[in-house]
A and B are shown apart, each in its own frame.
Chain A
């Protein structure tokens, strides 16, 4: 009797184990089928953050999430010891970004630079896919910036429209592999009011950005924005420089820290694309950082 019970227990144990392994084998099989598909799969995480440094990346805040972003730039390094290499000065932009859907994100911010309020929409147009699918991600970006500085000459008739600048961009990005991602960003910047007849109301800018991952949570980033000069006498191009920035992204849970060196003081699009007053050649370089914190508002 005892022998019969022991034998039954052994048979039950074997059947139980076989059952588990069979189930596990089926699960692994289905997982492998999902992991090695024959149809194109969307590519995610081309960059760590919605900005490469200043420039927009194809990334957007997830639907229902709210991201609080603080961007900060110190003064130029060529301020020397008296200005503690720029640390005595600061310029800041505080912003909120919200994901309306997985494709559409909106944002709002306020900069100390020209006391600008800016609002924007960023919308996914195409998504990069693997296995012969779409080779790049394409994202549209449209923003409006309102300068709230006092008018230069309050005695004349001033118009609210003179405060407005528009930026439209197309971000074309490709994640080449787990480490390397590159993007090209054609931009159009429009000023409603410029100073002289020679100045350009419309400025085309071509931006280049990239990141190279050094580890799971660390990457180095760089970007360059080249302004295309249509009129060689345009003082609103001649008096400024192209923007170049290099930085490091650190990811820690819900935060992304971005540290950078840039010759642009402004963090709003129209500022760093077309109003960069400092130059790398004279060490007019600003140390800066961006910090984000994401909050889940809707699941």
Chain B
């Protein structure tokens, strides 16, 4: 039952594996939009206290704290000992994780 619309797709084949461009990652153009679409429904300044464990991710200064102490990537990579994030959402794609990791590796600049 219900298999009439079955597909056996994967994103690499469907969209190509070379779409992840991390050569010029910036906070404002690449990282902040990812937080806006995946995290800030709970982690905005307004809602963090009630929904996001007081972890704010809608401004550079706050993001930098969690980028530097390892909690950001620990949670996003859903490593043991960290809260798996996004809570109740799908894990960020490999390219999205790579984008944030590259930004951190490049010094987590406000650019």
Contact = CB atoms under 8 A, between A and B. Distances in A.
A164 B5 contact: yes
A162 B12 contact: no
Interface residues of A, number: 46
Nearest to A284: B80
A277 B6 CA distance: 25
B14 to A, nearest CB: 7
A257 interface: no
B11 A282 contact: no
Contacts of A282: 80-81
B10 A89 contact: no
A113 B88 contact: yes
A13 to B, nearest CB: 67
B59 interface: no
A190 interface: yes
B6 A152 contact: no
A114 interface: yes
Contacts of B2: 142-144, 166, 168
Interface of A: 75-76, 78-79, 82-83, 88-89, 91, 111-114, 121, 142-144, 147, 149-150, 152-153, 156, 161-162, 164, 166, 168, 190, 192-197, 199, 201-202, 239, 265-266, 277-279, 282, 284
6 contacts: A147-B90, A194-B10, A195-B12, A199-B10, A201-B8, A239-B78
